[in-house]
Amino acid sequence: MIRVRFAPSPTGYIHLGNVRTALFNYLYAKRGGGKFILRVEDTDRERSKPEYRQALMEDLLWMGLRWDEGPEVGGEFGPYVQSERLAIYEEHIARLIREGKAYECYVTEQETEEMKYLAKIEKRPPRFDNRGRSFSRAEIDKRKAAGIKPTVRFKIESPLLTLHDMIRGEVTFNLDDMVGDFVIRRADGMPTFHLVVCVDDALMKITHVIRGEDHLSNTPKHMLLLGAMGYEPPAYGHLSLINGPGGEPLSKRMESISIRAFRKAGFLPEALCNYIALLGWSPGDDREILTWPELQALFDLSRVSRSSSNYDPEKFSWLNGQHLRLLSEGDFVRRAVTFLKPLGLPYPDEEVAAILPVFKDNVEHFDQLPERLKVLADEFEYEKPELWIRTPAAKGLLEKASALLDEFAAERMPSYEKFLEKLKPLAAVKGKDLFMPLRVSWTGREHGPELKRIFPVLGAARLKKRTLRALALHAL
């Protein structure tokens, strides 16, 4: 059975790059009848925060990525939070030392940094020179007496390694050019990412690891480490990275591309899944709008590109707008009300629910709705009143409209078309000179939703009050 995992670090809000990895793992597992596991890598004590851990789980669930095993769900291979697995890691480290595959290294951090600096000057790879392997007992005792705490390093004995990557094909590494013996336990006693990820992947029976290409250089280390511990490495696939709008690499410090920010802006989860799936994958045709069921049915890892992708916020907004159009009117209102409720807008709930369908086809995400809903406010500033209201022709038109609105006051959903049909023969103007004074008098703005949509929602009595308020400008 396919078993994949998403293993984020709770050191910030998850963003597009993180969550695309989660999505591709989820889709790969579900398409193959496998399991999607969530594992929290929180061994970075200083930067890991409980609130980020909670947020990442909430964001995944909001997107529809429900894990089969993991925190709050459980499973037979738990615990699924690394800080709760420290004893397991220590057992593996002790066995590697006992078998001569790892060693306590008393090389200081300052010495390591000096090695890197010298390599940079000499234009060599910043490779650790393994000097800690050959320290004499006297040298080790001297360093112990000086209070130096050792790291534990894994010995690299086989520098040449070839990986069959599920996305990139054959990839060959020469670790002599890349890295020397690497740290698997820091001087503070905490195991490193390299150690814990290998132990967890092995014990949790992970069959396929799909992750970003920034981990490609780590993979030979992990394959060697897994082999040294007696475990079979999983199959690996490395996704090309997503770049920002300006071509810069995405970072979790870029709050504007966090899933939390997209939720706050009122994007739809199915639109987000659709958009990020297309950042590096294609359904095999020119389709851009894919529903969540279609995405799950069509995803194929063989169609994942090796080329990097660029995040385009305008394209994402457009695509989200297309998904809004796909919603039924009832679903649009329900989701919009859920988004708007915490904002505490000063309008009656029934008025909001009644007018929301008017905006379904002209917003791209829900955070644009508060501005649109200002049409419900009876007090507003007028755009260009001197052009559309304070002219003799506009005054005559509005006086006739005001009188005519009385005929429609008793109707629960008055018809704008019928109102207009009766107004036109009475008016001395037409075209823009007819429609714009009405629009600006009723909404304050030159542009906005069609008057035929807002006319029945606001009602004739309310529109008459707004018409009289506009006419009052002539007395000023």
Q: Is 2 helix (H, G, I), strand (E, B) or coil?
A: coil
pTM of the model: 0.90
Q: Looking at residues 343-369, what average pLDDT do you find?
A: 94
pLDDT tens column, 74-83: 999 999 999 9
pLDDT of residue 413 exceeding 90, the answer is: no
pLDDT band at 55 (very low <50, low <70, confident <90, very high): very high
pLDDT tens column, 145-179: 999 999 999 999 887 889 999 999 999 998 777 78
Catalytic residues: 252
Q: Which residues pair with 6 in a beta bridge?
A: 38
Which of these, 346, 462, 436, 457, lies nearest to 383 by C-alpha position?
436
| Residue in the structure block whose two tokens are 């009656």 | 348
List Cβ<8 Å contacts ≥24 apart for 284-292: 288/319, 289/319, 289/322, 289/323, 289/326, 291/326, 292/64
Query: For domain 385-475, which CATH number applies: 1.10.1060.10, 3.40.50.300, 1.10.10.350, 1.10.10.10?
Result: 1.10.10.350
Residue 94 DSSP code: H
Sheet of 151-154, strand order:
102-105, 151-154, 182-185
pLDDT tens column, 227-275: 999 999 999 999 999 987 777 776 655 557 899 999 999 999 999 999 9
Phi/psi for 110 (5° steps) reads -65, -40
Domain boundaries, the chain: 1-70+193-326, 327-372, 385-475
Fold of 1-70+193-326: Rossmann fold (3.40.50)
Which helix (H) or strand (E) covers residue 170, if one does?
strand 169-174
| pLDDT number for residue 251 | 61
Which of these, 49, 5, 44, 7, lies nearest to 26 by C-alpha position?
5
